[in-house]
Structure 1
Amino acid sequence: MAHSFDTDTEAQGLIDYVDASPTPFHACAQAAARLAEAGFTEVVESEPFPTEPGRHWIVRGGSLIAWDTTGAHGAGAGPAAGFRVVGAHTDSPNLRLKPHADHVKAGWQMLAVEPYGGLLHNSWLDRDLGLAGRVAVRTAGGVEARLFHDTDPLLRVAQVAIHLERGQNDGLVLNRQQHLVPLWGVGDEPGDVVGYLAEQVGAERDDLLGWDVMTHPVEPSSRIGRERDLIAAPRLDNLATSYAAVRALVDAARSQPGHVPVLVLFDHEEIGSMSERGAMSTLLPSVLERIVAAGGGTRDDYWRAMASTVIASGDMAHATHPNYAELHEPMHRIAVNGGPVLKVNTNLRYATDSMGEAAFRLACEQAEVPMQTFVVRSDLPCGSTVGPMTSALTGATTVDFGAPTLSMHSARELCGAEDPAMYAGALSAFLAPRRA
């Protein structure tokens, strides 16, 4: 049986995870640290996979996959034992530095950025922003990837005063090229972003070969509300699922399930997943096949395993907004602190079908948490996530789910403080379903 999760512990755990994960690279590093504490070990993707039953993870850039074969393979279920997979994504909409970022305008030192994903533009205005990312550094042994996370308030995208643009309150329109450029100093000469990055990663500027650098709000995540029953934080979409999924895998591993529980955290979901480490890549199928092969299985064993595999694709779900209730399906009200949310769309923007729904509903029953069901209004377009992609690439039964949230894709989002514990409990039960 899945273990219970304490509400206050998981709420604070989510806050700590989010604040330490300003980028997908940091989110994977934080997940890996938690897995290591639970006895998982890292496998280098270019090396052979371990042939003995064990608990392992790999990282590919901003994506991570972890698995536990000690239950299924250790108990003799064989390499054709199916998988239970929980998937999420590590990336969130933000502003990312362009290659030549330094420039000056009207006596201000600016940094050129490109919006990543479908961010709510206005939510990035007049916020104190920091910088974080990954830098490729030349070393004596080749090239090394180094992460940095600067929590100092460095940047600000300043909004124009109401006196100069009096129509703003009637409908703010922001040009992505012109109006979302952060300032980071005063002067007629450009700042030195290369020198800044070299200092952050402890390298000579000439040894910097490339970088993936992005902005992040520096205001810490916090519990808010009269009863402190809400969490205000950046990047809840989708670090809330990433955190709960890591906690669930660690918990489920204690139950020694008869199949192989797997965690996959994909990068690049917010921009379509078409990359070497996104959900549209071969990352997940190739790792699953290598797990089968390392256990002594054949190609046929792999496809046998996939035939009994179930995937749960997690992303945040829209809570019913009190100020915009007319935008929600009236028969499917979604409440924060109301439990995990099953996501259904007949046009398969979500992969859920009745068999996937059954697996997720049983997991919620086993965890003794309530389950809600989200359906978008028939006259509005429906979002999507990694579920349909992983379903198509693996042929496995797949269910889409989420946790209720407001202000999705804002620089600062909102969820319930009780939901992380229920979320982790349901996912642990999904990874380790009760045996008949």
Structure 2
Amino acid sequence: MEQENQKLLQYISACTSPYHTVDTSLQMLLDAGYTELSMEEQWSLGEGNYVVNVFGTTLFAFHVGNNPRNTLRIASAHTDFPAIRVKPNPITTVKGYTKLNVEMYGGLILNTWLDRPLGAAGTVVLKGQDAFDVDAVLVDTKRPIALIPNLAIHMNREMNDGVKLSRQKHMLPIIMMTPDEESEYDAWTTLLAEEVGCQPEEILSYEMTLYPVEQGCTVGIHNEFISSPRLDNLTSCYGCLEGMLAAQKNQVDGIRVAILFDNEEVGSRTKQGGAGMILPLLVERIYRGLGLTRNELDADMGKGFMISSDVAHGLHPNFSEKNDITNFPTLNGGVTLKLAASQSYAGDAKALAIVKGLCEEANADYQLYVNNSDIVGGSTVGSISSAMFPMRTMDIGLPLLGMHSVRETMGAKDQRNLNLLMQHFLGDL
């Protein structure tokens, strides 16, 4: 278990932006023998293992067995996470302090980002021969280049009574001191150019995420917990990849799919998100590439199954009243099966029974989560993607404390349970 957790933390350390999550995951599968396909080409498929980089921030992987129509099983997760994104033209200066103009991505807990050393990761797009000939390059500073300083308590004696932070005013990170406020020196573009190894004028655009450079670690007298950035939802991405590697290793029949969507934290309604057409279109391309018909896909979809994996709210020992009174997952209690009468989580009685059975067959511990009826709670991509691609679906995930904090906490035993479930769901006959 300790070795598995260290692999998870290494994976999280490499996945500092959705672009890096896809790049790291893609390389894992390519190293294992998967064949990369392009969205821009027609597919002619046979038995084998394939992976597609979808617009840089979504990953689509699939295994085709000897009898493709045996079963259709899909697992999903999401590559994005609440974070701080750098705006265009970001440089602003106040009394010699150079700051970045930024915006918040997703529902992050703002005050947890204060006083943290922050690196920057994402993609930078460079000029080419013409407007459509551009080159996207991955960038990760791998060192802290920014900081959002707190205000001293001496300047706000009521700080411990609660402070409302302005996203536009209080959340701007400082990156350097500028002696001459009239200078036109663009520190940000210069930094990106140095990271890429190009001239500043070659840079056309970028998508850059600020991230905490502090690494994940185990915590507790007996190392019962894992504290790390981006547990939401890289734990699920890692579990899906473990399932796809098992499908390849075991050469299972049927079609096995893992899709790691982008943009879940902002609603999923994008070309690479779960509320778009990307999943149904890509699955249909598999069937066309195998010479199968739309009618055959419809029939297989009707008997297929999808697991949507995203994190869940573990019971907080200091706020136990926030959870449901009888359905409350705890850290190290296993995979959480998520239920909601509102269908903010995908699932029905049969789907729940199936996943319970899968967990028992895989020797994976599981528990249930239902929202406290006085609290709306969150939602995830399962209900959205299953509405776009109608097949029976169940939402699951690992229980966390501090979800959407700059560092989140999980049970040290729980990733193993998720891996066992995904390996069985995708990788067993």
TM-score, normalised to structure 2, is 0.96
Matched, 1:133 2:122: yes
Give, as a single letter, the amino acid of the residue that structure 2 aligns with 1:362. G
Structure 1 window deviating more from structure 2 (58-67 vs 221-230): it is 221-230
How many Å apart are 1:140 and its aligned residue?
A: 4.7
Shift of 1:342: 0.1
- The amino acid of 1:143's aligned partner reads V
Matched, 1:105 2:94: yes
Write out aligned runs for 1:291-330 (5 A).
Answer: 291-330=286-325
Paired residue type of 2:228: A
State the partner residue of 1:3: none
Residues in 1 aligned to 2:354 and 2:244: alpha-carbon distance in whole angstroms: 17
Find 1:154's aligned residue among 124, 134, 145.
145
Which whole-Å CA distance do the structure 1 matches of 2:18 and 2:409 have between them?
20
Match of 1:427 in 2: 422
Counterpart contact for 1:97–1:112, Cα < 8 Å = yes
SS of the equivalent of 1:173 reads coil
The equivalent position to 1:177 in structure 2, one of 168, 179, 183, is 168
Q: Secondary structure at the match of 2:210?
A: strand
Corresponding residue to 1:278 among 273, 282, 297: 273
1:114 aligns with 2:103: yes
Task: From 285, 291, 299, give the equivalent of 1:290.
Answer: 285
- Matched with 2:240 is 245
Query: Which residue of structure 2 aligns with residue 17 of structure 1?
Result: 11
Q: Give the structure 2 partner of residue 26 of structure 1.
A: 20
Equivalent position amino acid for 1:89 in 2? H
- For residue 40 of structure 1, what is the amino acid of its counterpart? Y
**Is the counterpart of residue 40 in structure 1 residue 34 in structure 2?**
yes
Alignment of 1:361-400 (within 5 A): 361-400=356-395
Residues 120-179 of structure 1: CA distance to partner in whole angstroms, max 9, x if unpaired? 000000100011110111235821110011121111101111011111101121011110
Aligned residue in 1 for 2:353: 358
Q: Which residue identity does 1:85 align to in structure 2?
A: I
**Distance between the aligned counterparts of 1:371 and 1:195, measured in 2?**
50
Cα pair 1:276 1:283 within 8 Å, conserved: yes
Query: Deviation of residue 433 (structure 1)?
Result: 4.8
Q: What is the deviation of 1:383?
A: 0.9
Q: Does 1:124 align with 2:113?
A: yes
CA displacement, residues 44-71 of structure 1 (integer Å, 9 cap, x when unaligned): 11111132221001011210000000x2
Q: Do residues 264 (structure 1) and 259 (structure 2) align?
A: yes
The answer on 1:54 being equivalent to 2:45 is no
Structure 2 CA distance, aligned partners of 1:382 and 1:429? 30
Q: Report the secondary structure of 1:139's partner residue.
A: coil
| 8 Å CA contact 2:328, 2:370 repeated in 1 | no
Runs of 5+ unmatched residues, structure 2: none
Contact 1:359 1:430 in 2 (8 A): no
**d(CA) in 2 for partners of 1:168 and 1:191?**
34
Q: CA RMSD in A?
A: 1.3
Per-residue deviation, 1:230: 1.3
Q: Which amino acid aligns with 1:322?
A: P
Quick one: which amino acid aligns to residue 57 of structure 1? Answer: V
The residue type equivalent to 2:111 in the other structure is N
Q: 2:341: which partner in 1?
A: 346
AA matched with 1:99 = P
TM-aligned CA deviation for residue 252 of structure 1: 2.8
CA distance in 1, matches of 2:257, 2:354: 16
Cα distance, 1:181 vs structure 2: 0.4
For each residue in 1:221-263, what CA deviation from the matched residue of structure 2 results, as whole angstroms up to 9, or x when unmatched? 1112111221111111001110111012101332333321111
Residue 323 of structure 2 aligns with an amino acid whose one-letter code is H
Q: C-alpha distance in 2, partners of 1:206/1:153?
A: 24
Matched, 1:224 2:219: yes
Structure 1 range deviating more: 184-193 or 174-183: 184-193
Amino acid at match of 1:222: C
**Do the aligned partners of 2:245 and 2:427 also contact (CA within 8 Å) in 1?**
no
Report how far residue 42 of structure 1 moved: 0.7
Report the Cα distance in structure 1 between the residues aligned to 2:70 and 2:89, rounded to whole angstroms: 50
Structure 2 residue matching 1:46: 3-state secondary structure = coil
Query: Mean alpha-carbon deviation: is it higher for 87-96 or for 305-314?
Result: 305-314
* Alignment of 1:86 onto 2:75: yes
Which residue identity does 2:407 align to in structure 1? R
Residue pair 2:323, 2:372 contacting (<8 A) in 1 also: yes
Partners of 2:250 and 2:428 within 8 A in 1: no
The SS at the match of 2:100 is strand
Percent of residue pairs identical: 34
